[in-house]
């Protein structure tokens, strides 16, 4: 019988290029890449704004489906409605889908860019942290 996964951690960095990561001295990243799952061949969706791309990553859909087409997107300022919704105006995210299937699991989001917080369902997470500085971005959690 194989080992069961007890934790899944997704780490994302806005604007971190594969070339920069491969050419810099990054022993912690190197270990995480070796021991986890990663890719250096992911492609951005168009338009290449942060909101559009983060939404595509956590929703598993492109902007033509989730409707988030720019950093100006807000639930009350949409250009293109989502084709399906987990809550008003919001395409289902990975947080929502995990919550539906694993009701007792602890799910959380820690992010520095406040814009990320508007891209997922707040009722799907047990903790939602948006610290004021990158240094306080959950590093002290046990």
C-alpha dihedral (114, 116, 119, 120), degrees to nearest 10: -90
pLDDT of residue 84: 95
Question: What is the per-residue pLDDT for 86?
Answer: 95
In-domain check, residue 52 = yes
Q: What per-residue confidence (pLDDT) applies to 139?
A: 52
Asked whether residue 5 is domain-assigned, the answer is no
Q: Return the pLDDT at 85.
A: 95
- Which domain does 109 fall in, by range? 44-136
Number of domains in the chain: 1
Q: Which residues of the chain have pLDDT under 70?
A: 1-3, 136-142
Q: How far apart, in whole angstroms, are the C-alpha atoms of residue 48 and residue 129?
A: 25
- The pLDDT score that the predictor gives to residue 43 is 86
Does some domain include residue 105? yes
Q: Is residue 142 included in any domain, yes or no?
A: no
pLDDT score, position 142: 40
What's this model's pTM, rounded to 2 decimal places? 0.85
């Amino acid at each position: 019988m194989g080992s069961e996964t007890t934790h899944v951690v997704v780490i994302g960095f806005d604007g971190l290029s594969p070339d920069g990561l491969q050419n810099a001295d990054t022993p912690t990243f190197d270990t995480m890449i070796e021991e986890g799952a990663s890719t250096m061949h992911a492609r951005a969706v168009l338009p290449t704004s942060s909101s559009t791309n983060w939404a595509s990553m956590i929703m598993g859909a492109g902007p033509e489906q989730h409707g988030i087409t720019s950093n100006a997107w807000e639930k009350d300022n949409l250009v293109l409605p989502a084709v399906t919704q987990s809550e008003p105006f919001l395409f289902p995210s990975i947080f929502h889908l995990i919550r539906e299937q694993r009701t007792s699991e602890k799910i959380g989001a820690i992010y520095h860019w406040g814009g990320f917080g508007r891209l997922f369902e707040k009722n799907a997470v047990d903790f939602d942290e948006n610290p004021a500085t990158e240094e306080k971005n959950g590093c002290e959690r046990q």
